[in-house]
Each structure stands twice: as structure tokens, then as C-alpha cells.
Amino acid sequence: MKSKHLVRLLAPATAALAAMAMVAPVAQADTPAPGYGQFAGCPSPSENPAVEVCLRSVITGGHFQMGSKDVPITNPIPLSGGTNAELENFSANSKGGLAPVKQKVPGGVVGLTGLTWLLELLGSEALTLYAVTEAVGQPQLSFTDISLPIRVHLINSTLGNKCYVGSPSNPISLHLTTGTTSPPKPNSPITGKLPTISFDEETGILHTDNGEYVDNSFAAPGASGCVLTLFGFIPISINGLVNSQSGLPAAAGTNETKQEIDAEFAPSELVYP
């Protein structure tokens, strides 16, 4: 694949970045050539002969707001895998896919539930709350947009391990764009940003940096599976508390996400010569 081929791929590249969040890795992983270790999540020809382009992206910042809760993206989220020449049919090996990176939720469990007495009972350290975004379906892509169904896993030892907002049957359906949104009221349109492009002729790696994907048109369902376990053995369902305290369910036009992304693309034949 020549450099002009990689440039031709740039138009749909922004959409392909989000697609990487959707795919579970396969079982094996070969070793990339020296200098291409960042593409270790890309399947080699022996793992998937249909892969022609290796990709790695990092969500470097932004935020995800649903209902009354706004979670900043402060911990970079790496994504890696491979596609065909048109950046379709994403796949990943055991080293690829979307890393399950935790983002700290402001206010913790107390902010999520409104139960201030938990501070005296458990202490602030035990009430730290994290959110992890998980894909629950396949994306639909165009050159600059992507439809992406997700759920948000709320993680804290006192909430059990099944506290989610969204589900496979009732997901948060994102439609991320680098263009301008058309949200329902009360939200107003917001605009993303195409990435800056550079090409390393020595390595054959195409870089796209500082792109921004936005969506403020999606709805967020109510929480499910949230159980407050007191003293290690007394379970209390708190879905209603989470929903009332967090403004969930939240109608379309009342939520927003912005995601800043850097990415790299390289021909598979260079990564696995």
C-alpha cells in the first residue's frame, strides 16, 4: 500500500476509530515488526488474511454527560485492531480492541445515590465510583459519522458488578460526528473537528491527531442492576435512587459527549512483513 493509498483512506478513518470500540478480540496475537509495536492489537495475516490496514487510536480527552452526571475523560483509552483497505470489517486479536479504562465519576457513590450517610459508614475511599464504556452492538459507519450502541458500567464494590446504564436491548445509541449536530431542544448544535494529518514516509505510518467527535442528540435509559450491599451481605436495590439522583432516564437533547482522538494507520504488510 503506497502513501497515496493511505491518504485515500483518510476520509473514512475518523469513523473507523469509534468502530474499534465495538469488536471483541480473537484468541491469538502475533508480534509486529520492530518499530510497529503500537499495532500489536492488529491481526496478522495468519490470524485474519482480510486485514490490510492496522490501526491504533487513543481517546485522549473529552467528556461524557448523561442526565445530571458529567464524567470527564481523564485517563487515555487506547483502541487497536485492523480493517480491510476501505477501513471496514474491523477485527482485533487478543492484544487489541477497546481497553477497559476506568474514568472517575465526580461525586462518587454518594453523588450517584444521594445517600450522604454512606460517608460515615464506609468512608470516602470505599465510595470512589468509576465508569467504563462498553459496546453492545455493531456500528454503522460513513466517512465522518458513526452510530454506536453502548452501555456504561458503574463500578464500585458496594454496588455489585452489574450496575449499568444501558443494555444490549436498550442501549445508549451514539451518533458521533466531526461535523455539526442537529439535536432536539433544549440542546443547541455543536460542531466537531477533523484531525490534523501527517505522513511518515520512512515508516509508512499515517497520523491523524486532535480530531474531535461530538454528539448531543442521544437519549440515556435508566439504571439497572445497581445493588447497594451493606456490611458485605445486605443487598438493597437502588436503581430508583440512581435514576432520581442522576436525572435518568434522560431524553434526547439533554445529553452530550465530546471525544478527542489521536490515531495511527499503517499497511498490514509493513506491520507483519
Give the confidence band of 141 by pLDDT, cuts at 50, 70, 90: low
Q: Does the structure show a pLDDT above 60 at 42?
A: yes
Q: What pTM was computed for the model?
A: 0.82
Q: What is the pLDDT of residues 253-271, one digit of tens each?
A: 999 999 998 989 999 999 9
Give the confidence band of 77 by pLDDT, cuts at 50, 70, 90: confident
pLDDT of the residue at 261? 86
Please compute the mean of the pLDDT values over residues 28-51 and round it to a whole number.
92
Measured CA to CA, the distance from residue 143 to residue 235 in angstroms comes to 47
Which of the two residues, 113 and 144, has the higher pLDDT score? Answer: 113
Task: State percent of the chain over pLDDT 90.
Answer: 60
∠ Cα 222 147 162 (to 5°): 35
Give the confidence band of 51 by pLDDT, cuts at 50, 70, 90: very high
Average of per-residue pLDDT values in the chain: 86
pLDDT of the residue at 143? 54
> What does the buried/exposed string (b/e) look like for 237-255 if buried means 16 or more CB atoms within 10 Å of the residue's CB?
ebeebbbebbebbbeebbb
Which of the two residues, 30 and 214, has the higher pLDDT score? Answer: 214
Q: Would you say 30 and 49 are in contact if contact means Cβ atoms under 8 Å apart?
A: no
pLDDT of the residue at 138? 66
Please compute the mean of the pLDDT values over residues 198-213 and round it to a whole number.
94
Residue bearing cell 490496514: 53
Instruction: Domain ranges for the chain, please list them.
Output: 3-271
CB contact set of 201 (below 8 Å; sequence gap of 6+): 3
